[in-house]
Structure 1
Amino acid sequence: MKQFVVDAFTDEVFKGNPAAVCIMDDWISEELMQNIAIENNLSETSFAVKQGNIYTIRWFTPGGEVDLCGHATLATAFVILNYYEKESVEVHFKTMDNTNLTVKEKNDLYEMEFPSYDLKKIEITEEIIDAIGIKPKEIYLARDLLCIFDDVNDVINFKPNLEKIEKLDGLLLHISAKGEKTDCVSRSFAPKLNIAEDQVCGSGHCHIVPYWTKILNKTDIIAYQASARGGTLYCRLSKDKVIISGKATLFSESKLNIKE
């Protein structure tokens, strides 16, 4: 089986968020996909099989399968459009829950259309303050937990206590503040998925972008993920969809020595 590793949301290797991508003729077992993800030890490994004109896509972290992943979708589209379907400019995906995703190549960007999460404002509890070590301005919950800070430096200098964060509600924890050079700055943590910090989290911005579009009263958001690797996301809120665009670059291409 061939595997690609792509750095997403960047045009430089060693930056952005790396994802492994396997384009297959037929599905392998869930156990094998999970073992490959564990062996890769990246935040995401994506698997895709073409059925008609649509690729069914699945994403596995070292800690299990997830229902949505932005950077690995971008990476998968990059691989398909550059190595499998060079004449095409868009890829149609279907998830396991029958959600349709489309990625379009536009100049040097790959544009993805994702569902927008409906944020519910929740109480700031002592448990949350203790877990993150600082009192946030506001907290919202959807699939993930979103904490808003007043000072961007609190986001940049944040030192997570992963053991405590793992006990909070939500699949991931995102922290965000208004940016100085970009509209917002964020970081994402996923100890429940055996990921300390997600370097650039596309699905996280399906939470982050709806918040900042409302606060800043604008539909177009330039977002920066302030992880060690860093990455920029060009986002737009369109009704119940979040349009996320980013760059991508190939790090490696290899053959996996595995048997079903």
Structure 2
Amino acid sequence: MTISTMRPAPAATPAGNIARPRAWQSRTFINAARVLICVAFLALWEIASRQGWVEETLFGRPSGVWTSMLEYLPSERSLESLRATGAAVGVSFVIGSISGTLAGLILGLSPTLNSIFGPFLAPINSVPRIALAPLFIAWFGLTMTAKVVLAVSIVFFILTENARSAVRSVDADLMTMARVVGLKRASLLLKVVLPSAVPTMFAGLRLTFVYALLGVVASEMVAATGGLGQDIVLYSSSYQINTVFAILVELMAVAIVMNWLFNAAERRLLVWQVS
């Protein structure tokens, strides 16, 4: 004879009672922890510099960085350098993102072209761009063109691979159904491929802006007539480390603002994805 053991069913949670996150999982706690980490790091840095644990000439100190920011950022030199770097980053990002996205879409939609050109992407992209900076400078001189070409060479290949992967990751059943109902290449691209690939492509755009900024600054550090990269080299060579950190803070602020703008644009353009 089989004896079945009856266990009481768990009590149903009232519809109005929603599980609340634990205290250390709340947004307030997370934000407070972030602030505390930053404050602790800056305080330790300041104390270490004042007590002589680290050499101030080489490492600077937060109070000195703040003073340098107040002196450098509003200066004419800073504004001129920011304009030079910003113009190069903007041009390289637009050229690289458009050409790279188009190339990736073409490779993703054409198996034949992908088989021909796809194997070349990884070897070419593996070449260190900073090693090409002297070559670009020799070709184009100390002009904005050299900086733009270097940054475009980074952005193009990242977005090409990003767009190609995004297209190839589209659901195969969805593509088959679209072809069955008669969608041709243009309609297939606009109505099926792009809506599915846009989220991945937006993530690539956020990433490549940072790489465009890095490429331009790196090129300026090798050789240029102006820009934030040249300022970093100038102040580093004269051991004005606090000013170097002030420039780095400026670059981080630019990257944070642009990342916020990309996130805002993505939320607005992809509002249809919210269920």
Relative to total residues, which structure has the larger helix share, 1 or 2? 2
- Using the size of structure 1 for normalisation, the TM-score is 0.25
